[in-house]
Amino acid sequence: MEAKIAVLPSRNTLPAKAPMTPVDSMRLTITWLKQVAKWLARLRIVAVAFAPVFATFIYLLLFSWTEPHIRWAGLGLQLAGVLSVACGVASTRKQFGHPSTIDRAMTFIREWPRYPKPSTGIAASLQAVGAMSATGTVPVGMAPEQTVEARLAALEQQLKDIVTKAANDAAEIRRQLRDHRGLIEAESASRSEGDANLHLQLEMTATGGLDLSLCGVLWLLVGTTFGTISPELARLL
């Protein structure tokens, strides 16, 4: 007699993967290409730095590396380096709200002293307006011939007036406290935002212009080399 043993599927058995369709493969490829593009975008400053250098080499190859063209190419790179430094300075001034050099020059020109015109007369007037307000409670006197009931009624009315004024004063104090609390909270939020903006400006000033400065250093280095040893390079190349 043979015993039959049934094998049940295990709960840990992983389901078989479905075959990848061409559409899925294309979708994954597009996603990967987008990630590669974002990664290459981080190197855009390298492209900006080396593009003028490569353009200079192409320019010299077209003109067979003659000494005047090497010197002119070096001058162009030097000017590009100085321009990058000027752009960095202008960006820093703009971050702190200072006018540019051109604006300062135009303001200086507009402030040229005019020749004074003859005065025909001087008129002056002075006006002053003052205002003052005050509030208070004045007790009402009682005549001696008034009855006891009249005196009690007058005292009750004065007590009501005092209670009403005290309630109004308390409400006014609470309103002023709410207003002051709102002003303090708004000032605190504004101060926090200002501190964050200041920190961001300081960070951008300290590190934001480094990429542009490095580009300028590279251009100045290559340009100075071309401009200094242009005869030697022309003979060598």
Tens digit of each residue's pLDDT (9 = 90 or more) over 32-86 = 988 888 887 777 778 888 888 898 889 888 888 888 888 899 999 999 888 887 7
What is the mean predicted confidence (pLDDT) over 187-211? 74
Q: Which residues contact 152 (CB under 8 A, 6 or more apart)?
A: none
Nearest to 209 by CA among 30, 84, 106, 41: 84
185 vs 135, more confident: 185
H or E stretch at 15? none
pTM: 0.46
What is the mean predicted confidence (pLDDT) over 97-125? 73
Quick one: pLDDT band at residue 97, thresholds 50, 70, 90?
confident
Rounded to a whole number, what is the distance in angstroms from the first to the last CA of the chain? 97
Sign of CA dihedral 185, 188, 190, 192: negative
Quick one: pLDDT band at residue 171, thresholds 50, 70, 90?
very high
Report the C-alpha gap between 25 and 21 in whole angstroms. 6
DSSP 8-state secondary structure symbol assigned to residue 229? S
Q: Tell me what pLDDT residue 141 has.
A: 57
Per the prediction, the chain carries an average pLDDT of 77
199-207 LR contacts (CB < 8 Å, sep 24+): 201/95, 201/96, 204/95, 205/92, 205/95, 205/96
Q: Tell me what pLDDT residue 170 has.
A: 92
From the CB of residue 50, how many other CB atoms can be counted at a distance below 10 Å? 14
Q: Tell me what pLDDT residue 165 has.
A: 92
What length does the chain have?
237
Is pLDDT of 168 > 80? yes
